[in-house]
Amino acid sequence: MGNNQQPVLLAAEKLRKFYGEVRAANDISLEIAQGQVLTLVGANGAGKSTFLNLLTGLVKPDRGEIRLLGKRITGLAPEQRAKMGIVKTFQLEHVFGDMTVFDHVRTACLSAAGKHYSMFKDISTETEINGQTEQLLELFDLARVSQSLVKNLGHGFKKVIDIATSFAMKPKILLVDEPTSGVGEEEKYHIMELMMNQIRANNLAAIIVEHDLNLVKDLSNETIVMHEGEFIARGAPGDVFGQDKVVEVLVGRGF
Amino acid sequence: MGANTRTGRMMPSYIDDRLIATIVLTAIAAVIPLFVSEYVRTLIQRCLLWIPPTFGVYIIYSLLRQVHFAQSIFIGLGSYIAAFLAGKYFVTSELLILLPLSLIVSIGVAYVLGIFIMRRTGFYFAIMGIAVTMAFWSLVYKMRQITGGSDGISDIKNPSLFGIQLGDQGLYYVSLVVSLGLILLMRRILHSPFSLQLRAISGDLQKAESIGIPVNGMRRLAFIVAGANAGVAGVLLAFSYNYVGPTTFAWEFGAHFVQAAIIGGVNYFVGPIVGAFVFVGLEFLVSTWFPNLWEVVIGVIVAVIVVTVGEEGVTGIVKDLFGRTLKRANLEERTYSDGK
Amino acid sequence: MFSMGLRYILNALPVVSYVILLSFSYSFLLYICGRVSLTFAGIYLVGAYATVSLSIALMGNSLSFAGFMGILLLASLLGAAMLVASYLCFERFLKTDVHRMVATSSLLLVFRGLVKVVWGTTPVTYSAPFLELGVSEIAGNIVPNYYLFMLGLALLLMLALAYFLNRTSWGMRFRASSLDGDRTMAQACGVNQNLVTLMTFAISGVLAGLAGGLYAPIAGAAYGSEANALLLAALSVIIGGVGSIGGAVLAAFIVGIVRAVAAIKMPVLELAVPFIIASVTLMLRPFGIWGKEFRY
């Protein structure tokens, strides 16, 4: 299953997170190697977002371990994990609305270079950073809107900006939470294509949460079905979606 | 698209018109004491000294979207350092010692306080800021033997610079230079990678965390920058008022800087400068005729500004009024275009 | 040792009582309407001055307890009227928390300034209720009855509010609109949001005005005391947690008693101590001792 020859990049071991009675993550374990792309499907409230948030550190687990390249990172803050290469894009709109697209991506480039506290340097003299930013904007087809304010752009644009900003962090593993939710059919494929091209070109690991099962089949040859905080099936999308228990879990949302 | 693009609300570019305006205004400020009475000169000096603390509020407001009520602490620290060293326990009145000392003390205090009050944002930060000013106020008020209690310390002699005793006019020019220097420094800071990332934090906290921005550390540094400005101005304010009392620490004094920043308009870099002049000018004008009413008048003005134009302030109103004229002169276009 | 502790507690009762009322006035607005407003401290100040002035004007230096209660009622209603008016004319136009904090702090300065214009800066006092209610003895300590009356009234009001919020159908409408509930959903179910907001402001005004009036016979109505009130009440909300009645009472006791002890043992730290408690609380329990996690 998957790229077993590659060393394990990120490992989650028996992660548990309960919200009162609700089991958002019930002893989940997962290993993912470099270049491996997984998709994660499941009904609303199955714990998909919680799982991604556990990996990024936005949610603290009740128990369990997370390791990046063998190093324990369970207690680290989100910003430290982001620095180490675990970067997440958001399901809902999480963008810096008052910035231009250029500044939006540049912020992440600066952060990746560790230039947080550089107060007395004019930002226009950061030629290396500005070059990187422009390159990224080219790659994600954003150069033509680089001077627009993010809040004035459409939903699809904001998604692409979010993804481009995540790539500026030079991630090792990308956690993508429903990249196409709320986006029209046509834009959906465009966004996915832009993203997948970059994931493959950089040989990144990725976990993608997606509702559109047709899209899931195109994205990756390995998918995981989640239900009530547990992984109930794992394998090639074609096989997995045929299983009875999977149909039962997913059918609720009009599969 | 040039590599050094820097468009955006709070990032004006180095434009000739602005440079010219700066030089003209500075020149006016430099020659005006030769023509006006001593009283007016002191008033202008106070306006100049109000600029740095107001800039502190401005930085916290425009970059972090927080209300900084605690500037009076740093003004107070700077003022009492001046009052102790140059007044009560006469040690030295050398500005080259007083100013750096106040800077260091302000940075140190801001660092420690930042740990406590920058932990949370929104009303938590505002209230904790007010609480700290009150704590300092009661401390100074009650340590009567050292601070003189409610009587404060008066009779602070003019300072010296490079060992040369400064006259009142000399103090004015020192204030002008310090204030101008701090304005230029703030301008540099607002164009820095640091402030871009601060804007990210106020834009969307979760996203900022997810791209590795150390939120708490950066907020604290912004707080330190704001405090350092006020600390430096505090030293000169003590000499300017020739009196220091516990009211320097009072929460309403800190709130006045917030009011000044709002009056000026926090959407504009010149906002704090305009705000400082308008606030001190208004305070002077109103209290000349109605001594008890100036706080009411300014309070009402601030409340009306917040409701009607929000962050635009007087600067925005003036810009709107004269915007058309400027546009005809084709200045408007360049304001928001590329530096290159 | 125990009796010393008891004496501190008894001496702190007036502060505790008025902080209970005032902090809940602030936290109630925050909890039900999600609105930050510092105006309450101005209402407190006006309430204190109104009580003292009315009492002196109507009763001179004598005391009719029923009359005093009537005046307290008037002061509370004045507070409610002022806060509702401030909401209708002004605060409802404020869209963000930052705007609210800036504008209401300015409004507080306006209230302060007006008090200065009307009453001047010299404190006015009317201490007849405090002096003439007599004293009781509790475990060897002499306590003015007025202290007990204040605490009793404050606790009674809190109990009434708790009953109102948790047991009545109107209270349910309030809670449905609060940070705990869902405003849009409440509106969809036919809860009149404007009415709830207005009533919240009115209740908050009653509490603030009453706090000022109740404390005035002990401390007098003093220009500048609003800063103390603002500080103690707002810090109590941070300590106790937003929207929690139990938290408000508990935090008021903590703040009041510790402050009273500090005022005697280490006077210079009198106002620093509440701040330190609040800092520690924020570190251990970011949402207050009794608070729930809100978006703030």
Residue of B nearest to C241 (CA): B124
Contacts of B108 (CB under 8 A, 6+ apart): none
Range of the domain at A238: 14-94+155-253
Q: Are B1 and A96 a contacting pair at CB < 8 A?
A: no
Q: Give the closest-approach CA distance of B206 to chain A in angstroms.
A: 7
Domain presence at residue A33: yes
Q: How far apart are CA A94 and CA A90, in angstroms?
A: 6
Domain presence at residue B131: yes
The tally of domains found in chain C comes to 1
Q: C121 pLDDT exceeds 90?
A: no
CB-CB neighbors (< 8 A) of C33 in chain B: none
Q: In whole angstroms, how far apart are CA A80 and each of A73, B325, C191?
A: 9, 51, 45
Q: How far apart are CA C226 and CA C39, in angstroms?
A: 10
Range of the domain at C188: 11-222
Contacts of A239 (CB under 8 A, 6+ apart): none
Q: B49 pLDDT exceeds 90?
A: yes
Confidence of residue A5 (pLDDT cuts 50, 70, 90): low
User: Which DSSP string do the residues of B176-230 spell out, in sequence order?
Assistant: HHHHHHHHHHHHHHHTSHHHHHHHHHHH-HHHHHHTT--HHHHHHHHHHHHHHHH
CB B266 within 8 A of CB B312: no
If one counts every other C-beta atom within 10 angstroms of the C-beta of residue C131, the result is 13
> Could you read off the pLDDT of B215-254 as tens digits, one per residue?
989 999 999 999 999 999 999 999 888 888 888 888 989 9
**Residue from B127, B204, B259, B263 to probe the interface with C (highest C Cβ count within 10 Å):** B127
Q: Quick one: pLDDT at residue B27? A: 83
CB B184 within 8 A of CB B54: no
- Which of B211, B214, B339 faces A165 most closely, judged by CB atoms? B211
Beta bridge partners of C137: C142
Q: Are A80 and B211 a contacting pair at CB < 8 A?
A: no
Phi, psi of B30 (to 5 degrees): -75, -35
> Could you read off the pLDDT of B187-207 as tens digits, one per residue?
899 989 999 999 999 988 888
Nearest to B184 by CA among B19, B9, B8, B6: B19
Nearest to A227 by CA among A255, A244, A246: A246
Q: Give the closest-approach CA distance of A99 to chain B in angstroms.
A: 7
Interface B:C, ≥3 CB–CB pairs < 8 Å? yes
Domain presence at residue B1: no
Nearest to B25 by CA among B53, B51, B63: B51
Q: What is the DSSP letter of B239?
A: H
Retrieve residue B43's tokens.
Answer: 């008033």
When pLDDT is averaged across residues B316-322 and rounded to a whole number, the result is: 85
Nearest to B310 by CA among C90, C85, C102, C106: C102
CB-CB neighbors (< 8 A) of B207 in chain A: 90, 94-96, 162, 165
Q: B13 pLDDT exceeds 70?
A: no
Confidence of residue C2 (pLDDT cuts 50, 70, 90): low
Q: Quick one: pLDDT at residue B163? A: 77
Helix (H) or strand (E) holding B244: strand B243-244
CB A54 within 8 A of CB A13: no
Domain presence at residue A126: no
Q: A249 pLDDT exceeds 80?
A: no
- Which of B5, B185, B212 faces A82 most closely, judged by CB atoms? B212
Q: Are A119 and B189 a contacting pair at CB < 8 A?
A: yes
CB-CB neighbors (< 8 A) of A106 in chain B: 196
Encoded amino acid at B39, one letter: Y
> Could you read off the pLDDT of C225-257 as tens digits, one per residue?
888 899 999 999 989 888 888 888 999 999 999
Q: Are B128 and C101 a contacting pair at CB < 8 A?
A: no
Q: Give the closest-approach CA distance of B127 to chain C in angstroms.
A: 7
Q: Quick one: pLDDT at residue B6? A: 42
User: Which DSSP string do the residues of C8-54 spell out, in sequence order?
Assistant: HHHHHHHHHHHHHHHHHHHHHHHHHT-----HHHHHHHHHHHHHHHH
- Least reliable range by pLDDT among A169-183, B155-169, B319-333, C43-57: B319-333
Q: How far apart are the first and last CA of chain C?
A: 41
Q: Dmax over Cα atoms in chain A, in whole Å?
A: 62
Q: How far apart are CA B113 and CA B224, in angstroms?
A: 9
Q: How far apart are CA C29 and CA A64, in angstroms?
A: 41
Nearest to C68 by CA among C29, C10, C126: C126
If one counts every other C-beta atom within 10 angstroms of the C-beta of residue A163, the result is 22
Which residue, chain included where needed, has tokens 């180490």?
A84
Confidence of residue C180 (pLDDT cuts 50, 70, 90): confident
Q: Are B209 and A126 a contacting pair at CB < 8 A?
A: no
Touching A: which chains, 3+ CB pairs < 8 A?
Answer: B
Encoded amino acid at A104, one letter: H
Contacts of A210 (CB under 8 A, 6+ apart): A39, A40, A41, A178, A179, A180, A216, A219
Q: A4 pLDDT exceeds 70?
A: no
Q: Quick one: pLDDT at residue C45? A: 93
Interface C:A, ≥3 CB–CB pairs < 8 Å? no
Q: A237 pLDDT exceeds 90?
A: no
- Least reliable range by pLDDT among A207-211, B147-151, C276-280: B147-151
Q: A16 pLDDT exceeds 50?
A: yes
The tally of domains found in chain A comes to 1
Domain presence at residue B127: yes
> Could you read off the pLDDT of C284-293 as tens digits, one per residue?
888 888 777 6
Long-range contacts of range C116-123, CB-CB < 8 Å, 24 or more positions apart?
A: C116/B292, C116/B295, C116/C223, C117/B292, C117/B293, C117/B296, C118/C49, C119/C49, C119/C53, C119/C221, C119/C223, C120/C223, C121/C223, C121/C224, C122/C223, C123/C220, C123/C221, C123/C222, C123/C223
Q: How far apart are CA C184 and CA A178, in angstroms?
A: 26
Q: Quick one: pLDDT at residue B11? A: 46
- Which of B127, B130, B303 faces C106 most closely, judged by CB atoms? B303
Domain presence at residue A209: yes
User: Which DSSP string do the residues of C246-269 spell out, in sequence order?
Assistant: HHHHHHHHHHHHHHHHHHHH-GGG
Q: B177 pLDDT exceeds 70?
A: yes
Beta bridge partners of B164: B161
Domain presence at residue A128: no
Q: Quick one: pLDDT at residue B53? A: 95
Q: B24 pLDDT exceeds 70?
A: yes
Q: B272 pLDDT exceeds 50?
A: yes
Residue-averaged pLDDT of chain C = 87
CB-CB neighbors (< 8 A) of C279 in chain B: 116-117, 128
Q: C24 pLDDT exceeds 50?
A: yes
Domain presence at residue C123: yes
Domain presence at residue B264: no
Q: Quick one: pLDDT at residue B15? A: 52
CB-CB neighbors (< 8 A) of B197 in chain A: 107, 110-111, 116
Q: Quick one: pLDDT at residue B16? A: 61
Nearest to C101 by CA among B251, B283, B250, B249: B251
Residue B234: burial class (beta carbons within 10 Å; 0-12, 13-18, 19+): buried
Domain presence at residue C227: no
Confidence of residue A252 (pLDDT cuts 50, 70, 90): low
CB A19 within 8 A of CB A13: no
Q: How far apart are CA C121 and CA A129, in angstroms?
A: 59
| CATH classification of the domain holding A220 | 3.40.50.300
Nearest to C261 by CA among C58, C9, C2: C9
CB B171 within 8 A of CB B160: no
Q: How far apart are CA B290 and CA B293, in angstroms?
A: 5
ipTM: 0.90
- Least reliable range by pLDDT among A54-58, A107-111, B13-17, C192-196: B13-17
Nearest to C113 by CA among C223, C209, C37: C223
Domain presence at residue C207: yes
Exposed e or buried b for every residue in B117-156, given b needs 16+ CB within 10 A?
Answer: bbbbbbbbbbbbbbbbbbbbbbbbbbeeeebbeeebbeeb
When pLDDT is averaged across residues C12-34 and rounded to a whole number, the result is: 90
Residue-averaged pLDDT of chain B = 84
Q: Quick one: pLDDT at residue A254? A: 45
Confidence of residue B58 (pLDDT cuts 50, 70, 90): very high
Is the backbone of residue C183 left (phi > 0), alpha (psi -120 to 50) or beta?
Answer: alpha
Phi, psi of A73 (to 5 degrees): -125, 15
Residue of C nearest to B254 (CA): C105
Domain presence at residue B334: no
Which residue, chain included where needed, has tokens 């275009």?
B337
User: Which DSSP string do the residues of chain C spell out, in sequence order?
Assistant: -HHHHHHHHHHHHHHHHHHHHHHHHHHHHHHHT-----HHHHHHHHHHHHHHHHHHHHHTTS--HHHHHHHHHHHHHHHHHHHHHHHHHTGGG--SHHHHHHHHHHHHHHHHHHHHHHH-SS-B---HHHHHT-EEEETTEEEEHHHHHHHHHHHHHHHHHHHHHHHSHHHHHHHHHSSSS-HHHHHHTT--HHHHHHHHHHHHHHHHHHHHHHHHHHH-B-TTHHHHHHHHHHHHHHHH-TT-HHHHHHHHHHHHHHHHHHHHH-GGGTTHHHHHHHHHHHHH-TT-SS------
Q: Are C227 and B124 a contacting pair at CB < 8 A?
A: no
- What is the number of residues in chain A? 255
Task: For residue A67, give the 3-state DSSP assignment.
Answer: strand
CB A67 within 8 A of CB A11: yes
Domain presence at residue A117: no
In chain B, % of residues over pLDDT 90: 40
Touching C: which chains, 3+ CB pairs < 8 A?
Answer: B
Q: Quick one: pLDDT at residue B232? A: 93
Q: Are B193 and A124 a contacting pair at CB < 8 A?
A: no
Domain presence at residue C273: no
When pLDDT is averaged across residues A39-52 and rounded to a whole number, the result is: 83
Task: For residue A211, give the 3-state DSSP assignment.
Answer: coil
Q: What is the DSSP letter of A27?
A: E
Q: Quick one: pLDDT at residue C130? A: 80
CB-CB neighbors (< 8 A) of B190 in chain A: none
The tally of domains found in chain B comes to 1
Q: How far apart are CA C269 and CA C228, in angstroms?
A: 14
Query: Which comes out higher in pLDDT, residue C182 or C47?
Result: C47
Domain presence at residue C241: no
Confidence of residue C46 (pLDDT cuts 50, 70, 90): very high
Query: Which comes out higher in pLDDT, residue B329 or B26?
Result: B26
Q: How many separate helices (H) and strands (E) can be counted in chain A?
A: 9, 10
Retrieve residue B86's tokens.
Answer: 């140059």
Q: What is the DSSP letter of A149?
A: B
Q: Are B131 and C116 a contacting pair at CB < 8 A?
A: no
When pLDDT is averaged across residues C133-145 and rounded to a whole number, the result is: 82
Q: How many separate helices (H) and strands (E) can be counted in chain B?
A: 15, 4
CB C252 within 8 A of CB C236: yes
Phi, psi of C79 (to 5 degrees): -60, -45
Domain presence at residue A178: yes
Nearest to B71 by CA among B289, B307, B255: B255
Query: Which comes out higher in pLDDT, residue C35 or B7?
Result: C35
Q: How far apart are CA B80 and CA B89, in angstroms?
A: 11
Nearest to C242 by CA among C33, C91, C45: C33
CB B159 within 8 A of CB B146: no
Domain presence at residue C86: yes
Domain presence at residue A19: yes
